[in-house]
Amino acid sequence: MNDTAQTPVARSVRDGAGPATAVPPRGRTGNERTGTGRPGTERPGTERTRSRSRSQQWAAWGFLTPVVIYLGVFYAYPLYRNIDLSLRNYTVRSFVNGDAPFTGLANYRAVLDDPTFLPALTHTVVFTAASLLLQYGIGLALAVFFTQQFRLAATLRALFLVPWLLPLIVSASTWSWMLNSGSGVVNAALHAVGIGPVNWLTSPSWSLASVVIANIWIGIPFNLVVLYSGLQSIPAALYEAAALDGANAWQRFRHVTFPLLRPVSAITLLLGLIYTLKVFDIIWIMTRGGPVDSSTTLATWSYRLGFGNALPAFGHGAAVGNLLVLIALFFGMVYIRVQRKQQES
């Protein structure tokens, strides 16, 4: 082997220049390349990464802070005050002075023992169940109808949104006028076909049905919009495959549309349930819960206890309101549990 083929280290050993020592290459040292130098030294890139991570955390907290403040001011604090109202004996004087005595669950016991509680609960269940079923059924039928491509479909869908866009006080006042016993257009139409007048708003037999009809009319557009959006997400190839297999329209709806629409239907019914439980405007404007409490629900009873009497019972009204919150929370937890089971399966 000639000298030109030997490395500089080998030539140094051959010439007796001492033990071979590795000559580090030019540029960064090994410690600098691996980032394992003296204690306390770090790569500049690591420091920049940590600084960027801290900046992102501060930015996240900056965006989250307004939401937390909003939830605390408009949700958490009113809920706390409502719970406090239900646990104390508030009068007008103590409400102003803030010296109401603590009574524990006495307000809840008084509400549950009140003879109005059971009819109000029954009316709430009937009002909510009838509204939900008919709103969902009619909304789903209209959503399926509008999936068919025809002229003026977009215009008709826009017209169906009008009840949803109107303020509730306008809708309730309109229905109150239409169902008026003496001058309402509904009784006029019944008279034209030979049917006698119906006391829609002043008869204990018809007052609850009247407010249910008005609430259904107001809630159909919401169900239509949400369910129509859900139908748009179902692939058309599934319907084509079902048609090739010989499925008729009802079979395609039962085995394709309805199962795939189940998640959208669940959230639609849950939101409708929470909204319907707390409906107050429509009932109060049309019947004020009467006659003889025949259309009183928990929502209208809570308002009447707190603000509708000469001697308001703030504690009792707050207790009824908290019962509504518990009912809505229960159904919300049921929905979450069902959704979790569906995801696990």
Give me the chain's average pLDDT, please. 84
Selected residue with higher pLDDT from 153 and 282: 282
Residues 175-222: pLDDT tens digits?
A: 999 999 888 999 999 999 998 889 999 999 999 999 999 999 999 999
Confidence of residue 334 (pLDDT cuts 50, 70, 90): confident
Arithmetic mean of pLDDT, 71-97 = 88
Residues 290-332: pLDDT tens digits?
A: 898 999 999 999 999 988 777 788 899 999 999 999 998 998 8
Confidence of residue 4 (pLDDT cuts 50, 70, 90): very low
Alpha helices in 147-280 (DSSP H): 153-160, 162-165, 168-178, 185-192, 207-232, 236-244, 249-252, 258-260, 262-277
CB 315 within 8 A of CB 107: yes
For residue 94, the model assigns a pLDDT of 82
Confidence of residue 3 (pLDDT cuts 50, 70, 90): very low
The amino acid sitting at 126 is V
Distance, CA of 239 to CA of 209 (rounded, Å): 39
Helices (H) and strands (E) in the chain, counts: 19, 0
* Model pTM score: 0.79
Distance, CA of 62 to CA of 82 (rounded, Å): 30
List, as one string, the DSSP characters of 268-321. Answer: HHHHHHHHHHT--HHHHHHTTT-STTTT--HHHHHHHHHHSSSS--HHHHHHHH
The distance of Cα 134 from the centroid of its chain, to the nearest Å, equals 20
